[in-house]
Amino acid sequence: MKSIIRQLQDEGELVLASRIKRILAAETQEEWKTEFPQIKSWGRMTPETLKKEFPWFLEAKVKDAELDYDDGVLIWNGGVWKNGVWENGKWENGTWKRGTWYNGIWKDGIWERGTWKDGTWEKGTWEVGVWENGTWLKGTWQDGTWENGTWGTGVWETGYWDEGLWKSGVWKDGVWEDGIWRNGIWKRGTWLNGHFEKGIWKSGTWKDGVWEGEASWYGGKIRDKKTKKLLYSFEPPIQ
């Protein structure tokens, strides 16, 4: 009988301790919410860690930020980044309104405008902005300026490409200044210079560059480099 009573006492103490822990945790979260109203959830992140390791984050303008922390890395799980400087970390999802991205991993989300300095883009939608360098794995590029870097695959709607390496994907429209085109489908646009190694050219204007033997030409215009006169023009039949 004594053992049963002791067992019930132990269980009661565990239940009480667990309840007290939950109450303290809830009070702590409320205190954090008062001090940091822009942060919706913390995960394994704490105010102390945020202040010590990521002061750049506290200078940014954000809304409903869902944070986490893992082995020295700030993780953004969701929310709205209104403006500011992103120095490093992992972006899981959310909306980027404007600001400057210096480095880190972008997993998914919507980029509305801003400047991308370097880092890895895994997937998502890029609406407009300036891409200075980095690695693009896949996604949709709607408009903007690409200065340098490596494009893996995806859909390029329109924009200006300065230089870099294009591995694969669909180019719908825009201006290509220079760089290396490995493979993909070019639908239309203006090609100023560079190496077109392999792929399908459907339509557009070619001004100068190197055309490799493995590429297929289906239509477009070729102009003389010096005089700009039209040398060749062919438009494929409407499908």
Tens of pLDDT, residues 176-226 = 999 999 999 999 999 999 999 999 999 999 988 898 866 677 666 666 666
The domain ranges of the chain are 1-32
If residue 145 lies in a helix (H) or strand (E), which one and from where to where?
Answer: strand 145-146
pLDDT at 98: 98
Q: Which tokens go with 173? A: 């429209």
pLDDT at 197: 92
3-class DSSP assignment, residue 140: strand
Q: Which tokens go with 54? A: 């990521």
3-class DSSP assignment, residue 163: coil
pLDDT at 181: 97
pLDDT at 239: 36
pTM: 0.81
